[in-house]
Amino acid sequence: MNAITHNTVPTYQRISVKPLAVHIGAEISGVDLSRPLASEEIAEIRAALLQWKVIFFRDQHLSHAQHVAFGKQFGDLTLGHPVFGYEPGHPEVYSVGRDRFKSRFDGARLVRPWTGWHTDVTAAINPPAASILRGVVIPPYGGDTQWTNLVAAYHGLSPALRAFVDTLQGEHKFTPPEGNKARQEFVSKVAATPLISHHPLVRVHPETGEKALYVSPSFLKNIVGLHPRESEQLLALLFEHVVRPEYTVRFKWEEGSLAFWDNRSTAHLAPVDIYDTEFERQLYRITLVGDVPVGPDGKPSVSIEGEPVAAHSVE
């Protein structure tokens, strides 16, 4: 199974679902993720994910093995990260530590309203279907993560602009943030596993049929077929639009918190306020294998360089 399978349930009988914002985000309770789930629980969690785009759990103190086992109930898992590796002994787990970027970049990045927002690994031809992030060491305050609903953002555009972006594709790849200079570790790893893809600017969700404004500010570099100035201006408009506060939810982490988001209909923002403190922050992420995006015209994404992100197999 390479993506989350949608099983429609009329009501939630096995879990409790508490919405956190109008367009995105709900907190799930009444379930223990450390044990194998009943099929009814899996179906309801899937349905809540598709409805709310990102769902959150509290007081789930999982080991790496339990984290992986939970994720496998929803689909095949990738390696921790196709470019930047994984936790030793746990190939499906990627470390999201406070200082993970120190060895990759130098210099001061150019900060815009959308700086840092991204959808995971969109440089790949088949970006992950979903991501599951687990909080282990959490600062006493600060360090919140934000998500935005790309379906709501698409419908927030004018009909004329929606009709135009429906026809476009964008180029996604790994590059340093604007203003930063890549250090040798980043250069070497990207060169060893190059990933460049052309994805539709509007992605049709393979399960719900919803259209999402599939723009990932950290990875989407230009719009295919437009002149550079046209591309720059349109991307600035779209990037600014998708991070409007009304489309977003902000999550305050606790130890044992877990966030599970649909990577096909959301973008998210990692915190930078923690760099103004000495607080430690350590989370771990796993990702579910995704499919190739398809636009409203039925045309799939095109791989320019690199291989699809495959399911991790135990050798």
What are the structure tokens assigned to 307, written together?
């291989």
Q: What is the pLDDT of residue 6?
A: 46
Q: What is the pLDDT of residue 193?
A: 87
Comparison of pLDDT for 182 and 291, the residue scoring more? 291
First-to-last C-alpha distance (Å) of the chain: 19
Catalytic residue among 23, 120, 281, 312: 120
Comparison of pLDDT for 185 and 215, the residue scoring more? 215
Q: What is the pLDDT of residue 313?
A: 67
CATH class of the structural domain 16-305: alpha beta
Q: What is the pLDDT of residue 312?
A: 81
Q: Name the 3-class secondary structure at 138.
A: coil
Q: What is the pLDDT of residue 314?
A: 53
Which residue do the tokens 């760099």 mark? 275
pLDDT tens for each residue of 139-189? 999 999 999 999 999 999 999 999 999 999 999 999 877 777 877 777 787
So where are the chain's domains? Answer: 16-305
Q: pTM of this prediction?
A: 0.94
Let me know if 134 is a catalytic residue: no
Mean predicted confidence (pLDDT) in 86-91: 93
Mean predicted confidence (pLDDT) in 13-20: 96
Mean predicted confidence (pLDDT) in 292-308: 97
CB environment 277-311: b (16+ within 10 A), e (fewer): eebebbbbbbbbbbbbbbbbeeeebebbebeebee
The Cα–Cα gap between 258 and 28 comes to 10
Share of the chain above pLDDT 70, in %: 95
CB–CB of 266/147 below 8 Å?
Answer: yes
What are the structure tokens assigned to 164, written together?
């135009």
Let me know if 64 is a catalytic residue: no
The Cα–Cα gap between 261 and 245 comes to 18
Nearest Cα residue to 144 out of 34, 32, 60, 25: 25
Q: Name the 3-class secondary structure at 304.
A: strand
Q: What is the pLDDT of residue 290?
A: 98
Average pLDDT, the chain: 93
The Cα–Cα gap between 127 and 293 comes to 8
Let me know if 199 is a catalytic residue: no
Is the confidence at residue 126, as pLDDT, over 90? Answer: yes
Mean predicted confidence (pLDDT) in 33-43: 97
Nearest Cα residue to 209 out of 277, 268, 295, 283: 295
Q: What is the pLDDT of residue 315?
A: 45
Catalytic residue among 67, 81, 203, 268: 268
Let me know if 144 is a catalytic residue: no
The Cα–Cα gap between 283 and 279 comes to 13
Catalytic residue among 23, 98, 172, 285: 285
The Cα–Cα gap between 304 and 315 comes to 29
The number of residues in the chain equals 315
CB–CB of 255/138 below 8 Å?
Answer: yes
Half-sphere exposure of 112 (CA within 13 A, CB side): 16
The Cα–Cα gap between 29 and 151 comes to 25
Catalytic residue among 81, 118, 172, 198: 118
CB–CB of 136/63 below 8 Å?
Answer: no
